[in-house]
Amino acid sequence: MPAHALGRVMDRYEIDAQIVRCITLKPEATIEFISQQTKLSYTAIRNGLRRLASLGVIEQYESTGERGRGRPAARFRLDRGLQILIPPRQFQHLASTIIEQLVREEGIPRVETLLQNAAHTHAIRLYDAWQKEGKAPSSLPAALERICEALNQQGCYALIRTDTHIHYIEVHNCVYVDLAVNYPGTICHYHSTLIGQLLRLTTPTATYVHESKIAQGDPFCSFVISIP
């Protein structure tokens, strides 16, 4: 049976997004837990888990219940290998080391400005490349898809979630989570500025708010996007 949300049929991207959110909130999630939280059918969940596993986003393992009791059950978590492989570990460490050194020498406010400027430059280059390819997005949904692609190329797992006329970008599996926690306002500020600048270039009337932040203890970063 197809899954439904707010009286309409959900597409596979929405289903996958809900599954990933559940696994992010409960790293040892079972199909039963995901079903309770999302109200999705077991069939929709299994299909979604299969898709996500084939992409290397999640991994399956077996574990008993609390205190080692009960029969082993299939459980799911975000693939821990993603943080090593995408981007390659050495580049992740190099970027973290450079930012940490800049913070010590220049201070967080200066580093925030540098990263903000870098995000603006990156956004303009991305948009120019899209235009040259003839693939510049002409609608907000299309723009959000391209923005998520850009974030995923940096090693994140970004998802789009839509609720009526409000859109959300959720950024999971940030490879720079330690840096974000130790130096709030650095890499998070970069991602926020990059999203904001790409929105201004593609959909000038859109507004966005950085609603939740990994650096502040939230399980993932989320951005709320709307058009007045």
| DSSP run (H or E) holding 151 | helix 140-153
Residue 102 sits in which domain range? 84-226
Q: Check whether residue 91 and residue 132 sit in a common domain.
A: yes
The 8-class DSSP code of residue 59 comes to E
Same domain (yes/no): 112, 199: yes
Indicate if 131 and 213 belong to the same structural domain: yes
Q: How far apart are alpha carbons 178 and 228 in whole angstroms? A: 35
Q: Does 131 have pLDDT greater than 70?
A: yes
pLDDT at residue 65, rounded to an integer: 58
User: How many domains does one find in the chain?
Assistant: 2
Closest CA to 165 of 141, 149, 146, 143: 141
pLDDT digits (tens, 9 = 90+) for 94-108: 777 888 898 889 988
Distance CA 167, CA 106 (A): 36
Determine the Cα–Cα distance for residues 88 and 107; give it in Å rounded to an integer.
Answer: 27
98 and 121 in a single domain? The answer is yes
Whether residue 208 sits in one domain with residue 97: yes
Asked if 193 and 104 count as a contact pair (C-beta separation under 8 A), the reply is: no
pTM: 0.64
At 38, list the tokens.
Answer: 């999302």
